[in-house]
Structures are given as structure tokens and as C-alpha cells.
Structure 1
Amino acid sequence: MCGFFQKRFQDWLTARRIRRSRLVTKDGRCNIEFGNVNYSNHFAFIADFWTTFVETRWRFVLLFFIAAFTLSWFIFGLLWYWIARNNEDLQWQNPSEDHTPCVDNVDGLTTSFLYSLETQTTIGYGGRAITPLCPGAVALIIIQSLIGAIINCFMCGIILSKISLPKKRAKTITFSDMAVICPKKGTLCLLIRVANMRKTLMIGSQIYGKLLRTTNTVDGEAIIMDQVNIDFTVDAGKDNLFFVCPLTLYHVIDRSSPFFEMAVDTLHKQEFELVVFLDGTAESTSSSCQVRTSFIPQEIMWGYNFLPIISRSKKGKYKVDFSNFSKVVPMATAHCAYCFHSLKGHHLHSRDGQDNLGFQTIDIPEQHPTDTKM
């Protein structure tokens, strides 16, 4: 029992270390922090206050929403109380029977607050109403109405902007948890699967990647987060993807690829992070969005291939089986890219090589005469 909990704790520590060490998390958030920023630069966030509020967390937006309205009601309530006090409308001032107040039924701090709330929210219960005898009260009700309209527009705009953020649409784009390396169309490729969970298309979709790693120059200088371009494509190209069904993206591992020097027994010993980007425009809202994810060496499986998930029914409809989205099968693959290009048919890698429990692997028969794939 103790060994079981110890293993679970070690696995949790390993997962936590991997999560903290990567630049881009699996859900696309950038794991980076800024230090020693000049204090004067913080005023730039105040100058760009709209973006600052839109990017603020929901809990702070709701807190600011409540505080903005409550404080405005209270501040104007104090002003109405001050006007009533100057006009001797309050109860403790003992106004005469023929006294005409600035605001009917405002004779204390509580009623002043209620009148401020009713004015700014245009409730109008009918119990409290302004009289035309006080010019200051007329001016104050105009000012409060204008400020209340501004607060309403600003807060509603922030909430609508946060709800319609493009990154919310990006949450319906999902990548495979792992990447695989296997032969494809006569060449060795790194494959990643991506799926659009909505039926609406992503217009003008483009896919590309960046390999982040630490390199050393000739002078011995270490370059942290050195970026190398990684080209991804599908059978129909790499730009303007027809993203109506799950796609398998592949990167050709040739002599110009940074993966060319890696092998099945050295891949998981490397230190790099493959960040994959998908840019597109949502068809329903015409808003541009970007989907990001990353893969570290432990999340790349050498010698496996994705299972097909698209088939055609007897009625002629295309069907996507998402139960196979995270399933792979072992595939004979050379131990390294050099072996694949120079020694074809040798050093094949089978299921006994590198394995990863993040994927569910299944065995499939060698012949499928009844399957129809797209």
C-alpha cells in the first residue's frame, strides 16, 4: 500500500515538474513571468485600460462590476443627502408643514441612497421624485444619469467582450495528447492530429510550429529558447485548410529537419519543446483566433501511427469516431531518420521499443476489406 502511494506521489511530482518546465501548456497558456519591470511601465497598462479590463480574470471583473455600481449609488446618495440637508429637508431639521423639499420623501441617509439607486437604475417606484424648486438637484440628476449610462455601457462592453473572446472558440479545437513518428508516403514524418469540435468551419486555417530548445554557439554562449521553424502540412497543403473534419498534420523529417539527428533511443533524452499553432477565422463570428499546444520529448511516440477515425456509412454519410482520436497502433519504423533514408528496410522498430501510457494502443488485423476511409 505504501509503495502504491509513493509511486502515485512520484508520478504527481514528475507531472508537476513537466508542467512547470514547459513554456506553453497543453491548453495553450504561456508559462512565463516578467521580473524587474520598471515601475513607470505599469502606467502603460492603465493607459490601455480597455485591454487590461478585458484580460482581467472573471472574479475581478465581477468584483469591479459590483463595486462600480455600488460606489456610484453611495456617492450620489451622499450628494442627495447634502442637497436635502442644505434645503432643510431632513427629519431632524424639523421642516415646517408648508416646506417644499428638493426631493419628495428624501428625509435621511437611507432614503437618499434609495433615491440615488432608483434614479441611476431608472426604477421609479413613484414614492420619491424630484421637484423643480432646486437648481442644484436638477443639475445633479442630469450628471448622475449621464455617469450611470457611461458605467452601464462600459461594464456591459467588458462582459460582452470577455464572453466573445476568440480564445473561447479556440477551446473547441483540440489536438492529440501525443505526437507520433512513423513512415508516411515513403518518408519519415512526425504526425499530430487536430480536430474541430464544431460543425462551423475555421476559415483560412494555417498550421505551423516552433521548436524551442537551448543551443550553444561557437563561442560557448548558451541561447535559451532558440526557435526553429517547423513546417506542417496535410495532403492538400498547409494553408487554407478545409477544416471540416479531424486532420492529421505531418512534418517531413528530412536532412533539413531538426528531428533528423534524433533516434528512438535518444528522443526522450532530448530537451526541447515543440509548439504547434493553428490560426484561423471563425465562420460564425468572423473573429480571428489562434490555438496553441506543445509537445515535449516524453509526449512523442516513435514507431506508432494514429488509427483512422473517419468512415462512410451505408447511407453515404461521413462519420467521425472520436473514440479513436487518442488511439494508436505500432508501426514498423526505422530506429533513426538516417537509418530510414540510408538503410531502408533495416533497424525496424516494433512495439517493444519506446512506449507511452498516455496513448491507448490496439492491434488491428492486417486486412480490412470492408472499411472505407476518407
Structure 2
Amino acid sequence: MARSPNERTAKTQVVRLGGREVVTEGLNLNFWADISHRCMTASWPAFIGGAATVFVAFNAFFAFFYWIGDQPISNVPGGAYIDYLYFSIETLSTAGYGDMHPQTHYGHFVATVELFTGIFSMSVMTGLVFARFSRPRARLLFAENPVISDHEGERTLMIRLANERHNIISNANARLWLFKNIVSKEGQPLRRFYELPLSRNESPALALSWTLFHVIDEASPLYGLNAEDLGANNIALVVVVSGYDVVAAQTVHARKSYDYPDIRIGHHYAEILDTTEDGRLRVDYGRFHETLED
């Protein structure tokens, strides 16, 4: 079937949702349409590199207008473009060293426009940097593999996590979701999600490690499934943990997703807690991700 002109011009993108890559088509989203979100989600090297590129581009733009004027700036030897570029950097950043300054109405006009642009851009940049630093982030370490083993005499799905900061996250709350492929009665393939009940989904003070337990009984979507069934249904797990960071005085969130190859059936976690000779609690994070066969 031939595509319409709008469909042919729509951009194809590959986006990452958790650990999964998704190809999207037919969405014409301009780069500048959500620039704030792009600035907040970009990595620090990309953010700093983008800010530096914009800074250089702005200065090169205004330096060109100084350069084509009739000696708009004083103390510019020979009227070289690079000198106007230096003056533009001083003006845009509001540094104003004073050795070069506008001396014509044209120069004052361009400098006025650039000063306004500099004040505006510096305000935006300050806000973006503050927002990136002030975002509450939880430093939670999740085990690389969920395990399914017997616990308290029942078949149980277990996921271990730990607080890397070793501070107190009070009223920590965890929720566990399962995603699977199903086919509706009409034969339409669907992706359904189910919340898996946890034996204890709250912790009054998350400081070290915490293991989440979901009992696989007759009511569980995992009941009776083996490793082949997990792959056939394209099973995925998503853990969401939130709580109040008493040091940052903010609510923090963390998320971890697992695909079906990550789930180890018939394994249990290696023990990481013991006591020292003087009676203190010891946590061995070197074995945090280690699993052992039953």
C-alpha cells in the first residue's frame, strides 16, 4: 500500500524504553518542540557540549554584525573578525572588561540586542543547570537477575535491591509489574501488564538491602510457567521504588526493568549479611549480584 506524503515525510526514530529499543514512525516532532525535556534528559557531556555549541554560535552571529559595521567598537586593531568575536563573548557573558566598547549608534544597538540575549540565555542556562542538579535521584542498586526459588515453603519470585548511599529512605514503597504478550478472543495480539502482589511492599527505613518477595500461587500470572513459557510470552518485569530521602528532604524514585532471559529459575541469592567478630553487621556487596543454584 502506498503511503501518503505526510507518512513518507514522518521521521523514523529508535527510542529506548527501559532496556528495550522501540522503533517509532509517523510522529513529526520538531527538535525544538520539547527542547526543555531534551536538555533535562541528555547526558552531562551532551548537555555541556550542546551549551558550548550554542554559546559559540551566538557569539559568532553577533560578531558578524559587529564586523560588517563601520568601526562600531573602539580599540579594535585592524578590525579583525576574531577581535569582534572576543568582544561579543565579553558582551554576551556580561563580563565587560572595558578595553573595547561600542563607539557608534550601530555598535550600541547591536550590543544592546546582544546584552538582552545574554541576560535571557544566562537565565535559561542557570535554570536548566539548577534543575538538573536539584532533581531528586535515588541511588538504588538492583540485582542483575531476579530469581525464582522456594522461600518459606512456597515458590517465590525474589528481587534484591540496596541503598548505595547508606542513608535513610523512610516510608520506602515498592511495586512490581509483570508484562506479557497475550492474544485476545478476537485473535488480536496484546501486551498486558499485571501488578504482582508483594509479601511486604513497604519498608519503614531503607538503609542497606531489601529483598522483594512475590509468592507464585494459583493467582499469580507466573503460576506454572517454566523458562520456555517465559520466552514464549515475552515476560518482562518492572520494579518501581519510591521513598522519602531524609538527607535531601525530597521524595526519590528508582526504576529497574528485566526481560525474561534475566530471570533465573531454580536459583537463590548468595548471602551478603553477616556479623564481624566484634558484633557489627557486615554487608558484602561483592556478592550482591551472585546467585546460586538450589
- Measured against the shorter chain, the TM-score band is 0.7 to 0.9
The aligned counterpart of 2:21 is 31
Are residues 1:67 and 2:34 paired?
no
Q: 1:213 to 1:159 in 2, by over 3 A?
A: same
Aligned-residue offset at 1:240: 4.5
Verify the 8 A CA contact 2:268 2:292 in the aligned structure 1: yes
Task: Report matched runs for 1:241-256 at 5 Å.
Answer: 241-256=204-219
Q: How much is the aligned-residue C-alpha RMSD, in angstroms?
A: 3.1
Which residue in 2 is equivalent to 1:231?
A: 197
**Inter-CA distance 104–217: structure 2 relative to 1 (3 Å threshold):** closer
Identity percentage over the alignment? Answer: 21
Residue 115 of structure 1 aligns with an amino acid whose one-letter code is F
Q: Deviations over 1:306-339 (max 9, x none)?
A: 23212233434221111332333444xxxxxxxx
Distance (Å, rounded) in 2 between the aligned partners of 1:309 and 1:217: 44
Say which of 59, 68, 79 aligns to 1:108: 79
Larger strand proportion of the pair? 2
| CA distance 1:104–1:271, change in 2 (3 Å) | closer
What CA distance in whole angstroms lies between the structure 2 residues aligned with 1:120 and 1:220? 62
Distance 1:80 1:191 in 2: 66
> Which sits farther off after the overlay, 200-209 or 186-195?
200-209
Q: 1-side partners of 2:185 and 2:87: how far apart?
A: 75
In structure 2, distance between residues paired with 1:276 and 1:147: 44
- Asked whether the equivalents of residues 180 and 233 of structure 2 are also in contact (C-alpha less than 8 Å), the reply is no
Per the normalisation by structure 1, the TM-score is 0.64
2:116 is matched with which residue? Answer: 146
The structure having more radius of gyration, on CA atoms, is 1
3-state SS of paired residue (2:58): helix
Stretches of structure 2 lacking an aligned partner (at least 5 in a row)? 1-13
Change (3 A) 1:76 1:265: closer
Superposition deviation, residue 138 in structure 1: 3.5
Residue by residue over 1:262-302, the C-alpha shift from the partner in whole angstroms, topping out at 9 and shown as x without a partner, is 25786666532222222334444325323222141x33333
Aligned partners of 1:82, 1:23: CA distance in 2, in Å?
A: 49
Residues 34, 279 of structure 1: alpha-carbon distance in 2 compared, 3 angstrom cutoff: farther
- Equivalence for 1:92: none
- Are the counterparts in 2 of residues 77 and 109 from structure 1 also a CA contact under 8 Å? no
Q: Distance in 2 between matches of 1:240 and 1:308?
A: 20
1:242-264 Cα distance to aligned partner (Å, 9 max, x none): 21111111101111101222257
